[in-house]
Amino acid sequence: MSIFEYNGSALVAMVGKNCFAIASDRRLGVQLQTIATDFQRISKIHDRLFLGLSGLATDAQTLYQRLVFRHKLYQLREERDMKPETFANLVSAILYEKRFGPYFCQPVIAGLGDEDKPFICTMDSIGAKELAKDFVVAGTASESLYGACESMFKEDMEPEELFETVSQALLSSVDRDCLSGWGGHVYVVTPTEVKERILKGRMD
Amino acid sequence: MSKAVVELPPKGGFNFDLCRRNEMLLKKGASPPSFRKTGTTIVGLIYQEGVILGADTRATAGSIVCDKNCEKIHYMAPNIYCCGAGTAADTEAVTDMVSSQLQLHRYHTSRESRVATALTLLKSHLFNYQGYVQAALVLGGVDVTGPHLHMIYPHGSTDALPFATMGSGSLAAMAVFESKYCEGLNKEEGINLVCEAICAGIFNDLGSGSNVDICVITKGHKEYLRNYRVPNTRAHFSSKEFTFPKKTEVLLTKIVPLREKIEVTEDGDAMEE
Q: Among the residues of chain A, which ranges form H helices?
A: 57-78, 84-97, 142-152, 159-174
Res B6 pLDDT > 80: no
Cβ within 8 Å of residue A53, ≥6 positions away: A11, A41, A43, A60, A63, A64, A105, A106, A107, A108
For residues B57-62, give the mean pLDDT: 86
Would you state the pLDDT for residue B218? 95
C-alpha distance from B17 to closest chain A C-alpha (Å) = 7
CB contact under 8 A, A128 and B14: no
Condensed to tens digits (0 to 9), the pLDDT of residues B154-209 reads: 999 999 999 999 999 999 999 999 999 999 999 999 999 999 999 999 999 988 98
CB contact under 8 A, B35 and A126: yes
Identify the closest residue of chain A to B59 by CA–CA distance. A130
Task: Give the one of B16, B93, B253 whose C-beta lies nearest to A101's C-beta.
Answer: B16
Res B64 pLDDT > 60: yes
Which residues on chain B are in Cβ contact (under 8 Å) with A95? 89
The mean predicted confidence, pLDDT, of chain A is 93
Residues B72, B92: Cα–Cα separation, whole Å: 9
* Nearest to A179, CA basis, from A47, A79, A32: A32
Which three-class secondary structure state does DSSP give residue B144? Answer: coil
Would you state the pLDDT for residue B28? 85
To test the contact with chain A by mutation, choose from B244, B248, B253 the residue with the greatest count of A C-beta atoms within 10 A, namely B248
* Nearest to B36, CA basis, from B131, B129, B134: B134
Task: Give the one of B33, B67, B248 whose C-beta lies nearest to A167's C-beta.
Answer: B248
* Nearest to B202, CA basis, from B37, B40, B36, B69: B40
Question: Could you list the active site residues of B?
Answer: 40
A44-73 residues touching B, CB cutoff 8 A: 47-48, 55
pLDDT confidence bin for B61, thresholds 50/70/90: confident
Lowest-pLDDT range, A85-94, B53-62, B101-110, B136-145? B53-62
C-alpha distance from A19 to closest chain B C-alpha (Å) = 13
Question: Could you write out the DSSP letters of every residue in A135-184?
Answer: EEEEETTHHHHHHHHHHH--SS--HHHHHHHHHHHHHHHHTT-TTS-SSE
User: DSSP assignment, residue A2?
Assistant: B
Lowest-pLDDT range, B15-29, B46-60, B121-135, B208-222? B15-29
Cβ within 8 Å of residue B100, ≥6 positions away: none
* Nearest to B45, CA basis, from B78, B75, B86, B83: B83
Residues A185, A195: Cα–Cα separation, whole Å: 11
**Residue B76: strand pairing partners:** none
CB contact under 8 A, B92 and A95: no
Condensed to tens digits (0 to 9), the pLDDT of residues A61-102 reads: 999 999 999 999 999 999 999 999 999 999 999 999 999 999
Would you state the pLDDT for residue B243? 80
Cβ within 8 Å of residue A77, ≥6 positions away: none
Residues A5, B28: Cα–Cα separation, whole Å: 14
CB neighbours (10 Å) of residue B44?
A: 32
Task: Give the one of A55, A100, A132 whose C-beta lies nearest to B19's C-beta.
Answer: A100
The mean predicted confidence, pLDDT, of chain B is 89
For residues B253-271, give the mean pLDDT: 76
Which three-class secondary structure state does DSSP give residue B163? Answer: strand
Amino acid letter, B32: P
Res B29 pLDDT > 90: no
B104 and B118 Cβ atoms separated by less than 8 Å: no
pTM of the complete model: 0.88
Res B85 pLDDT > 70: yes
Would you state the pLDDT for residue B159? 95
B116-135 residues touching A, CB cutoff 8 A: 132-133
Measured CA to CA in angstroms, residue A102 lies from A60, A105, B38, B217, B236 at distances of 12, 8, 19, 37, 39
Res B48 pLDDT > 80: yes
Res A179 pLDDT > 80: yes
Would you state the pLDDT for residue A165? 94
Would you state the pLDDT for residue B245? 78
CB contact under 8 A, A200 and B61: no
pLDDT confidence bin for B39, thresholds 50/70/90: confident
**Residue B215: strand pairing partners:** B53, B224
Which three-class secondary structure state does DSSP give residue A99? Answer: coil
* Nearest to A5, CA basis, from A54, A39, A40, A38: A54
Residue that wins the pLDDT comparison between B76 and B220: B76
B237-266 residues touching A, CB cutoff 8 A: 238, 241-242, 244, 247-259
B68-87 residues touching A, CB cutoff 8 A: 70, 87
Residues B93, B147: Cα–Cα separation, whole Å: 25
Would you state the pLDDT for residue B31? 78
Residues A14, A99: Cα–Cα separation, whole Å: 28
Rg (CA), chain A: 16
Res B79 pLDDT > 80: yes
Residues B40, B202: Cα–Cα separation, whole Å: 8
ipTM: 0.87
Q: Is A79 left (phi over 0), alpha (psi -120 to 50) or beta?
A: left
Cβ within 8 Å of residue A5, ≥6 positions away: A31, A140, A179
C-alpha distance from A43 to closest chain B C-alpha (Å) = 14
For residues B121-139, give the mean pLDDT: 95
* Nearest to B79, CA basis, from B48, B111, B57: B111
Condensed to tens digits (0 to 9), the pLDDT of residues A136-150 reads: 999 999 999 999 999
Q: Among the residues of chain B, which ranges form H helices?
A: 19-27, 88-109, 115-128, 170-180, 187-204
Query: Which backbone phi and psi does B176 adopt, to 5 degrees?
Result: -65, -45
Would you state the pLDDT for residue B8? 62
Would you state the pLDDT for residue B244? 81
For residues A42-48, give the mean pLDDT: 94
CB contact under 8 A, A143 and B32: no
B122 and B156 Cβ atoms separated by less than 8 Å: no
Share of chain A above pLDDT 90, in %: 89
Would you state the pLDDT for residue B82? 96
Res B268 pLDDT > 90: no
Measured CA to CA in angstroms, residue A185 lies from A43, A55, A147, A198, B182 at distances of 11, 17, 20, 5, 59
